[in-house]
Structure 1
Amino acid sequence: MPSTPRPLRKLGFLTIGLFDEAAPRAGHEATLSLIELGERLGFDSAWVRHRHLQYGISSPVAVLAAASQRTRRIHLGTAVTPLGWENPLRLAEDLATVDILSGGRLNPGVSVGPPMRYEEVREALYPDTGDAEDFSHERVRRLLSFVRGEPATGFSGTEGFEAFSDRVQPHAPGLADRMWYGAGSLRSARWAGEHRMNLLTSSVVKAEDPEAPADFAEIQLSHVRAFRAHHPDGDRARVSHGLVVVPTDSATRAQRAKYEAYAAARLPRTAEPQGPARLLFAPDLVGTSADIAERLHAHAAFREVDEVAFALPFTFAPEDYVQILTDIATHLGPLLGWHPDPS
């Protein structure tokens, strides 16, 4: 373990983009406004999360396409796109298109596994191929091959008046280097490293060894180290950390009370692994930026990363997010060694 934490080099945030079913445009506009605020505050990246058949962003690629036209510098990511819902070829086309429109700022994060509540959605999603679909890492490998410009077909050339390519178009140079994998297990972290992806960590890991202590930070540290041990770039391979942090430096008394109640309600699930998958959750970090920075500097996994995409709580009001993002950019980030890009 390093004797001192790495200075924070890249500061990002993650939002779920909730909306009211009766007025969905307002919620989507609020998400876009939050991304615009993030750019003004100097954040290096803004990330959105998929929520299928729920009241959160179901099409992050479309939302980020809109965000790309309202911003000029901030990088835009998905954390994460569950590939069980996607066709890798079609997704590669969408990602490349948005990356071109954004000027090379897209950072797609993906994960694998069956879609959530698969038995209920299989008939709607894969009515003819539900039992044959492969939800393994092979789905990521296919996406990576298309993004990297490898052949998608054996045919190219001209037929009549139409020209055809044998690879995904448009091709977005550099996009492959900005592909991320959201890993919560040791196996997935290793796989991401072997396949030259970047690694997204979050506030959830799998406590896979029932005989070992369920220490969140140590488990996450083992994922970071396994990823880098298997990545061609070694210790320079990119890892982004994604805990929930809620600084209260400029919060009102009512906001502080709300934030503390939110964290307290979620704290019991952090005591031990949850469910058959033995998911272990990290506590939300609520307090002054000085308090949060001290806790992060003592976090075994955080000490070895220099990029973050801090997750915003999912149920707060727009004014709460403004306060939280402002405190992260003006107080917490600098305490972690981060400085905004002057450009």
Structure 2
Amino acid sequence: MRREVPAVVTVLGLAVAGCGFSSVDPHSSVSVSGRALDASGKPLAHAHVVLVRQADIGQVIFGSVLAVGTLSTICFAPDPPAICEKARTATTDADGRYRFELKGSDTQGSLGTKATMNVVFSGRSSQTSTTVSFTTEDTSVTVPDARLWNLGARISAQPGRVRLSWRPLPAPAGKGTGYSVQLSDVRSGAALWTQPASGSRADVDPRLLEDVHGAAAVSAGTDLPGGSGAGKVRASYLSPRLPVPGRAVAPPSRGRPCAPVIGAAGTVGAFGACAETDGDLSRPAGLSGGGTVSGAAVDLGSPRALSLVVVRGFSGQFLVETSRDGTTWQSLATGFGSAYAVEPPGRTTARYLRVRSPTGLDESLSTEISVW
């Protein structure tokens, strides 16, 4: 029986209900204020705070908590990324208070819908951060007091896995706590994997990092009561990023020929070198063919027993299929979202692996297919 590796494919802690049309006049002035506290509950004075609209971050991808949670640091760096051009910045006063002034249109999506807004701040060491997410329901928004929390995250190498452990959040951090574990590329900072967790520890398959020099972090999300004009408020607490001990190796599929899959019929094009197996886990492969590229196929060179398949960068629902001859295909799994992994049944053997949209959606911007 195959086993799916759990993954978070939506934004844990940032997925505030931003649907529905906004009642705020797009031409009106809107104020957003709140207070940042340190881990002991004291005012976080003279701290950097960032306000960013979720839509400006780009496509919602796995690991967005990690990316958003670092904005209070990277947006004040000498050479900040492009997203910071759309973010607003402020500094707390001696009482930890901050305030932003913006227009109603800045709080809405392109069709006048309510947009999720994120306030992000971190401590002086920039090791931990808190993100408060909300929708704008009035022209005067008061965000609930939010504080930093030290999750006390620790990481260790175990046989065949990497284990993260942490201290559970105390009650004042909010209600309905959910945890996730995040993997990122130390060099680029790109988020590579996010999976749900519970209790106070989680195990991660180190193969998910391949041969990348990786880091891991723990994120906790809660409902945050209080405030006004902010709708449902969520808080996300991000731990420091910890170096992952050791390094896994590149999968056998690395550098293997691959081919575009065309249309809903799943027609496989010509095999050759392509970016779907190049080891860049976050850059779109940009496949092209004689029609809509609905997926990709990989040639492993010869039949081999499969133990893990990882699919990155696909959108919506997709099929994972195997074949011994490249002509007759068997279904292995049905995946969904931009990060997916499955451990095939023990005797699954194949030379070819195909990942495709069953409805023929454009998947030319998928990033990587990895096979062990």
After TM superposition, the score normalised by the length of structure 1 is 0.32
Higher strand share: 2
Q: Which of the two has greater helix per residue?
A: 1
Larger relative CO (CA 8 A, sep 6+): 1 or 2? 1
